[in-house]
Amino acid sequence: MNQIESMNQIERITYYENLLNEATAVLNEFGKALDAFVEVQGKIAELEKYYTSEEWKLDFMASEEGELPWSLLCGVLSEDGIDHMLEDNRELLDRAGSIQSKEDACPDSTDPDDSKAARENG
């Protein structure tokens, strides 16, 4: 007998209520993060355009030659910093695409009508 089968009705309902609350909280946070991720894509494209431009090369050389103020934050001139951020972005975009691909391959089991029918017939 597994853990859930050994629960009484109150324990079972409480257990599933906790699962619902946890999943709802995670989905809400994920939704906010996803909105921010989508929103920042334009800024990432702008950074990539700057990184591949002559202006970036000139700024990088000025930094290397000590021509910029020492107090100037210039992480954007770090090749590794931009490369890593762009790679992280590509990986996240790929992951998001693979989630969509998996959804396309699987029937939608979250259809509220299906769930309702299962409860009524089960």
pTM of structure: 0.68
Q: For the chain, what's the residue count? A: 122
Domain segments of the chain: what residues? 9-106
| Residue-wise pLDDT tens digits, 13-44 | 999 999 999 999 999 999 999 999 999 999 99
Are 92 and 37 spatial neighbours (Cβ–Cβ below 8 Å)? yes
Whether 82 and 47 have beta carbons less than 8 Å apart is answered as: yes
Q: Which helix (H) or strand (E) is 18 found in, with range?
A: helix 9-51
State what percent of residues in the chain have pLDDT above 70. 82
The pLDDT score that the predictor gives to residue 62 is 97
5 falls in which pLDDT band (50, 70, 90)?
A: confident
Least confident range of 24-28, 33-37, 56-60, 113-117: 113-117
